[in-house]
Amino acid sequence: MQSAAQTLVIIGTGGTIAGASGSATDNVGYKAGSLSVNTLVAAVPALASRSLEAEQLAQLDSKDMDHATWARLARRVQAHLERPEVRGVVITHGTDTLEETAYLLQRVLAPRKPVVLTAAMRPATAIQADGPQNLLDAVAVAESEGVSGVVAVVAGQVWSGLELRKTHSYRLDAFEAGPDAGALAVVEEGVLRRFRDWPAGEALGVARLPAGGQAWPWVEVLGSHAGADARAIEAWRVAGLQGLVLACTGNGTLHEALEAPVRALKEAGVPVWRTTRCAQGRIVGASDEPGAALSPWAARVELMLRLLAD
């Protein structure tokens, strides 16, 4: 049955998709978050006939994404999804922290309606800007029957908000899904071809997120690497670190120089989660550990959400 809800809300947060450069041949020396979400929508003539509302929530380079913007975004998305006439929400975002925002929104909202993040690797001023097609594809996905949950649409592929990872610094198809997971679907000429289930799970609820710019738990990510030095962990412990995610080597191994400070941190009651710094795979033999199948960045979000429940 065709859904009665027809309106799509497009929320702009900045990113390269809204980036502008002085030269059309410059794909790297631009300012992210320069153009309004209305301008992005107007650049796609095929969207003119759609029932859309556009809203500018932020104008950030997503490398600078912050917790307060996350909380505002989650609350705005929830408010729109509760409107019966709203079919879904599309969010324009930078690629740099897209995976963190997507993970957070799926865990907090676990929406029944589609929440589709999209982005671009080239600024809007580029000769072959990828943003307009990505935005059109994102709208097509949000309008498709049966889509639910937080997904991201980039370069014709649809990724789970719980799985996507930026794995390329420059290519237009800069994302993959982990661990060892593929795209959920592809969008071809506005038509969705689905391979796997939409993201699901229980919503933790926006009430869990600190309101009004209040501090979030202090959780850091630390890589284990050749020549590892214990001083960073010790300094963080003294300064009041509340959680640590280790980006471990290989199958969850840690440099011996970090073992004692990690133990001291745990003894002080600070949760320490292991993840792998490998781009793919999980920590095999650690399925009871919450970070075992997450990227370090998703694990950091998950650990903050757990600490916010306490």
Per CB under 6 A, residues contacting ligand ASP are 14-16, 32, 61-63, 94-96, 119, 121
Report residue 254: phi and psi, to 5°: -125, 140
Of 96 and 137, nearer to ligand ASP (C-beta) is 96
Annotated catalytic residue 95 = no
Catalytic residue among 13, 16, 125, 276: 16
How far apart are CB 23 and ligand ASP at their closest, in Å?
17
Cβ proximity of 118 and 41 under 8 Å:
no
Closest residue to ligand ASP, judged by C-beta, is 94
How far apart are CB 102 and ligand ASP at their closest, in Å?
13
Of 14 and 243, nearer to ligand ASP (C-beta) is 14
Q: Which candidate, 85, 81, 91, 63, places its Cα nearest to that of 297?
A: 63
How far apart are CB 14 and ligand ASP at their closest, in Å?
6
Residue 92 pairs in a beta bridge with: 12, 118
> Could you tell me how far CA 56 lies from the centroid of its own chain?
18
Of 31 and 76, nearer to ligand ASP (C-beta) is 31
How far apart are CB 212 and ligand ASP at their closest, in Å?
25
Of 78 and 101, nearer to ligand ASP (C-beta) is 101
How far apart are CB 235 and ligand ASP at their closest, in Å?
28
How far apart CA 34 and CA 250 sit, in angstroms, is: 40
Q: Could you identify the residue written with the tokens 């997507």? A: 102
Cβ proximity of 125 and 20 under 8 Å:
yes
Positive or negative, the CA dihedral 270, 109, 36, 186 is positive
Kindly give the residue spans of alpha helices, DSSP state H, lying in the chain.
Answer: 37-42, 67-81, 98-109, 131-143, 231-239, 256-267, 296-309
Alpha carbon of 255 to those of 241, 261, 265, 300: distances in Å? 20, 11, 16, 20
Of 166 and 274, nearer to ligand ASP (C-beta) is 166
Active site residues: 16
